[in-house]
Amino acid sequence: MSRKVTAKMAKSSMAGPGRRERRRRRLGPTPRPAGGAGRGGPGRAGPGRAARTARGGMGGPRRLLLVSNSTLHGGGYLGHCQQHIKSFLGEKVKRVLFVPYALHDRDAYARTAREKFESLGYGLDSIHESCDPVEAVRKSEAIFIGGGNTFRLLKALYDNSLIQEIRKRVLEDGIPYMGSSAGTNVATVSINTTNDMPIVYPPSLQALGLVPFNINPHYLDPDVKSTHMGETREERIRQYHEEPNTPPVLGLREGAMLLVEGDKATLQGVTGARLFLRGKKPTEHEPGTDFSFLLIDSDLQNL
């Protein structure tokens, strides 16, 4: 090999990461499309994967509104959080892209969502009505993923090649993302802490990874008067944390939601949340709690 070629190769190796590597670092971890294989085992995040989430790209910081539930007892669809939605979306957003994949009857679901968002002053397009879901995401001003069955939802996101497209729009382009229930589940590291039955099998349990921890929507406290002998929600989350390298889990009670703006995360709503860290006792938190530390790029399971 000539000295000229050798010098050229050495110069190339010292030039630092290329365009593809720089983009990968900016977006954070790529959810694996099959099996969740790796050092963390099937369907689990491997060491460090739980906490590698981007802060937002050139379009601005990530903006997320992660709601525990769509309907609160005594109210209508999204009634308990409609003011939060208006404040979150603001006046710049004119139309919202709705993802109804978590329910079987997507037409009826879209009608319900469209009626609500139009009453708040926003137009709504449902992704299932588009002939090109990927292009619909690329053109969207804001994304709302509704609740239902989390396994069905995640499978549809993979089947339609939307995982990376949504991540790019939210983390790199900075468009607002709103999720409720299952839509909140898929915004996290994985769907391991969903409450739903696996009625279908997605290619991986790895989700969008917009935040580096997991959420348990509809979190229920144990009923001391109940004679039910099955596991409580807290016991199931503890079982999850018995596995190695599992990230924090935020149990959002119905009526609670998490607002994420860049590197700041704040608990909002009318109820509190319960935080579970591997190897630690769970802690109680009221609305207004600053959860920004959960967004830190580190292995939070070791806190």
- pLDDT tens digits, one per residue of 198-243: 999 999 999 999 999 999 998 877 666 777 666 788 999 999 999 9
Query: Would you state the pLDDT for residue 60?
Result: 59
Identify whether the C-beta of residue 143 lies closer than 8 Å to the C-beta of residue 137.
Answer: yes
CA neighbor of 60 nearest in space, from 175, 214, 192, 141: 175
The answer to whether residue 70 sits within a structural domain is yes
Query: Would you state the pLDDT for residue 76?
Result: 86
Q: Which of 140, 190, 196, 241 is catalytic?
A: 196
Q: Which of 84, 128, 218, 285 is catalytic?
A: 218
What is the value of pTM for the model shown? 0.80
**218 catalytic per annotation:** yes
The answer to whether residue 52 sits within a structural domain is no
CA 198 to chain centre: 18
**196 catalytic per annotation:** yes
The answer to whether residue 215 sits within a structural domain is yes
Structure tokens given for 36: 């969740």
Identify whether the C-beta of residue 298 lies closer than 8 Å to the C-beta of residue 263.
Answer: no
Would you give the end-to-end CA distance of the chain in angstroms?
51
Query: Would you state the pLDDT for residue 195?
Result: 93
Residue range of the domain that includes 149: 60-302
Q: Which of 181, 190, 204, 241 is catalytic?
A: 181
Handedness of CA 60, 257, 178, 193 (dihedral sign): positive
The answer to whether residue 275 sits within a structural domain is yes
Identify whether the C-beta of residue 146 lies closer than 8 Å to the C-beta of residue 106.
Answer: no
The answer to whether residue 5 sits within a structural domain is no
CA 259 – CA 269 distance, rounded (Å): 10
CATH number at residue 155: 3.40.50.880
Query: Would you state the pLDDT for residue 188?
Result: 97
The HSE-up count of residue 283 (CA atoms within 13 Å, CB side) is 10
**125 catalytic per annotation:** no
Identify whether the C-beta of residue 169 lies closer than 8 Å to the C-beta of residue 135.
Answer: no
The answer to whether residue 286 sits within a structural domain is yes
Query: Would you state the pLDDT for residue 19?
Result: 47
CA 142 – CA 79 distance, rounded (Å): 19
Residue numbers in the chain where pLDDT is lower than 50: 3-16, 19-59, 298-303
The answer to whether residue 177 sits within a structural domain is yes
The answer to whether residue 184 sits within a structural domain is yes
Name the domain count of the chain. Answer: 1
Identify whether the C-beta of residue 124 lies closer than 8 Å to the C-beta of residue 159.
Answer: no
CA 274 – CA 285 distance, rounded (Å): 6
Query: Would you state the pLDDT for residue 116?
Result: 95
